[in-house]
Amino acid sequence: MTLPDGYRLTRLDDDSRLREVIALDAWAFPTEVAFDELLRLEQPLPWGRVWGVEHGGSAPGLAAMYGAYALSAYPVPGAETACGWLTWVGVHPGHRRRGLLREMIAHHFADCLERGEAISGLTAAEAAIYGRFGYGMAAPQVSLTIPRGAALRPIAGSAALAVEMHEWDAARHGPVVARLHRAYARVPEGIGRPGWASWETPELRRAQDQDPPALRQGLEAQRLLLITNAAGEPRGYARFRRKSAWNRDVADGTVQVRDAVALDAAAAHRLWSVLLDLDLMARIEAGPLPVDDPILSLLVDARAAMPTTRDLQWIRILDLPRALAGRRYAAPADVVLEVTDALIPANAGRWRVRVDASGRAEVARSEDPAELRLDIRELGAAHLGTVSLAALAQAGLVDVADGSHAALARAATAWSWPIAAGGSWVF
Ligand SMILES: CC(=O)SCCNC(=O)CCNC(=O)[C@H](O)C(C)(C)COP(=O)(O)OP(=O)(O)OC[C@H]1O[C@@H](n2cnc3c(N)ncnc32)[C@H](O)[C@@H]1OP(=O)(O)O
């Protein structure tokens, strides 16, 4: 990598640099939380995979940084894969637009490839930043503001489930919540949702479990709703907070749902029935939710929940043959792709992707004429099965060779997945 003169990259191995890292982060992401308070929080910094860009000059210090979470079981369609999750990206405002991010990205890609991570993912602070580096928007999210008392379609078995409500206790509830959250991504316990990353590393778990007053933004302490079956087994949970408000003596409170996860339809119905009927509340805010979350089908009037969609997760394919062979496909296909990749030349060129009846792909270099031409960014966008290659072709981002429209239809079907990619948290 070639940083501008006067800058050098350093690996940050432990929290001896915590003060500098948090100070830089607070320059990049302005916060009302006091510096000393920030230092006391559980910060999920992946030490050893945190990289700082140091500068000399009159006031030497950290000019930029990034980190990467080593997700070893990131869910892709029909499988789990190693993914280097880009995070903690920040450039001090006094050092921006000098190419530091571009150089950190090049370093991140090389580091992931060395570690055998065929894809990288991220959630973006701003949607316009990462497309230029070959990240494609692969998992959208929806957020809802549901009126209190909104009607749900009836689901058999819901009323028989038991409801427990607790004040959040990380030691007691953290493991149950982490288990249900993890199970939800997997078949047959859960639905098998691509993108549903779990809190794999100890730092991520500790940060997830905390509920410090500094991060409550005027809401109450976190509470837990647990749904259990007749055998006493947890089947779903929601973590939520309420904020009381009054509008000319009429109760106007808000419930903020941090996440709501259920392993079956009856548990989802029971969970939301409780959340939608808390006294003194007027609305329930929820999101990020997957765009096909059960609540959208359960609501009789989903429009009244004012669904708003936007990007959640972006995927960058780093090692094309390994990444494409590392997921499953919804239907057989045999297609020749011609791929451009300005940053990782090894991915560029023509590839034949053959998907067999079991949904497994063989990916090999090809001399045959290309049927679909696309950039690595579009392949990343389609990787979780939710963004359609046909829709990208309609937008002119996948170029279809003359006479290859049937190939596009087959590829778009194969790359699709029955469950929408999504997640419950931003990291
Ligand atoms: C995965 C995550 O962690 S997301 C968090 C990202 N961090 C933030 O948003 C915090 C506040 N912002 C910052 O720290 C910085 O402005 C960053 C990280 C967004 C950009 O860092 P810089 O070092 O200024 O970027 P750099 O100079 O390498 O620019 C690379 C390219 O991205 C473009 N770019 C940079 N920031 C943005 C932006 N916010 N929106 C659109 N384009 C951008 C530049 O114009 C440049 O484009 P070019 O290659 O066409 O010339």
Both tokens of 163, joined, read 């409801």
- Residue by residue, DSSP assigns 129-171 as SSGGGT-EEEEEEEEEEEETT--B---TTSTTSEEEEEE--HH
Q: The tokens 């929080």 sit on which residue? A: 41
Confidence of residue 20 (pLDDT cuts 50, 70, 90): very high
For the chain, the structural domain boundaries read 7-122, 142-311, 319-415
Exposure of 307 in the CB half-sphere (CA atoms within 13 A): 16
pLDDT of 70 strictly over 90: yes
Other C-beta atoms lying within 10 Å of the C-beta of residue 147:
16
* Residue 59 pLDDT: 73
Once rounded to an integer, what is the mean pLDDT over residues 187-206?
95
**Ligand 1 centroid – CA 373 distance (Å):** 28
What is the helix (H) or strand (E) element at residue 364, kind and residue range?
Answer: strand 361-365
- Whole-number pLDDT of residue 57: 76
Q: Whose CA is nearest to atom 45 of ligand 1?
A: 97
CA atoms within 13 A on the CB side of 330: 19
Centre of ligand 1 from the C-alpha of residue 180, in Å: 36
Among 181, 176, 174, 152, smallest CA distance to 265 is for 152
Q: What angle do CA 146, 150, 154 make, to 5 degrees?
A: 125
Segment 362-371 shows an average pLDDT of 98
Tokens linked to 119:
């894809």
Q: Please check whether residue 144 is in contact with residue 305, taking contact to mean a CB–CB distance below 8 angstroms.
A: yes
- 11 strand-pairing partners: 51
pLDDT band at 337 (very low <50, low <70, confident <90, very high): very high
Q: Which contacts (CB < 8 Å, 24+ apart) does range 399-408 have? A: 399/372, 399/373, 399/374, 400/371, 400/372, 401/369, 401/370, 401/371, 401/372, 401/373, 404/371, 404/372, 407/335, 407/371, 407/372, 408/371, 408/372
The SS3 call for residue 2 is: coil
Provide, rounded to the nearest whole percent, the portion of the chain with pLDDT above 90: 98
Task: Read off the pLDDT of residues 124-178 as tens digits, 9 standing for 90 and up.
Answer: 999 999 999 999 999 999 999 999 999 999 999 999 999 999 999 999 999 999 9
> Which residues, 6 or more positions from 405, have their beta carbon under 8 angstroms from its beta carbon?
none
- Which residue's CA lies nearest to atom 9 of ligand 1? 125
89 CA closest ligand 1 atom index: 3
Task: State the CATH class of domain 142-311.
Answer: alpha beta
Q: Is 427 annotated in the active site?
A: yes
Q: 238: which strand partners?
A: 225, 260
Residue reference for tokens 């957020």: 143
**Domain 7-122 falls in which CATH fold?**
Aminopeptidase (3.40.630)
Query: Ligand 1 pocket test: which of 24, 51, 91, 95 has the largest number of ligand atoms within 8 Å of its C-beta?
Result: 91
The model's pTM: 0.97
pLDDT of 1 strictly over 70: no
Where does the pLDDT of residue 60 fall: very low under 50, low under 70, confident under 90, or very high at 90 and above?
Answer: confident
Fold match, 7-122 / 142-311: yes
pLDDT confidence bin for 112, thresholds 50/70/90: very high
Which residues belong to the annotated binding site for acetyl-CoA?
89-91, 97-102
Contacts of 132 (CB under 8 A, 6+ apart): none
Residue 322 CB less than 6 A away from ligand 1: no
Q: Which of 69, 130, 133, 240 is catalytic?
A: 130
Task: Pick one of 3.40.50.300, 3.40.50.2300, 3.60.40.10, 3.30.1050.10 as the CATH number of 319-415.
Answer: 3.30.1050.10
pLDDT-derived band at 206 (thresholds 50, 70, 90) equals very high
How far apart, in whole angstroms, are the C-alpha atoms of residue 158 and residue 163? 10
Ligand 1 contact via 29 beta carbon (within 6 Å): yes
Note the pLDDT of residue 44: 96
Mean pLDDT of the region 278-292: 98
Neighbours of 81 (CB within 10 A): 19
Question: How many residues in the chain?
Answer: 427
CA dihedral (395, 401, 405, 407) positive or negative: negative
Q: Which tokens hold the place of 250? A: 């009429």
Place of tokens 């930029």: 64
Phi, then psi, of 239 in degrees rounded to 5: -105, 130
Which secondary-structure segment (H or E) carries 297? helix 294-298
Which residues are paired to 65 by β-bridges? Answer: 52, 90
- Residue 170's nearest CA partner among 142, 124, 208, 134 is 208
pLDDT confidence of residue 419: 97
pLDDT band at 335 (very low <50, low <70, confident <90, very high): very high
d(CA 63, CA 41): 23
Q: What is the pLDDT of residue 256?
A: 98
Q: How far apart are CA 79 and CA 415, in angstroms?
A: 14
Q: Is the CB of 31 under 6 A from ligand 1?
A: no
Residue 130 annotated to the active site: yes
Contact 65 CB / ligand 1 (< 6 Å): no
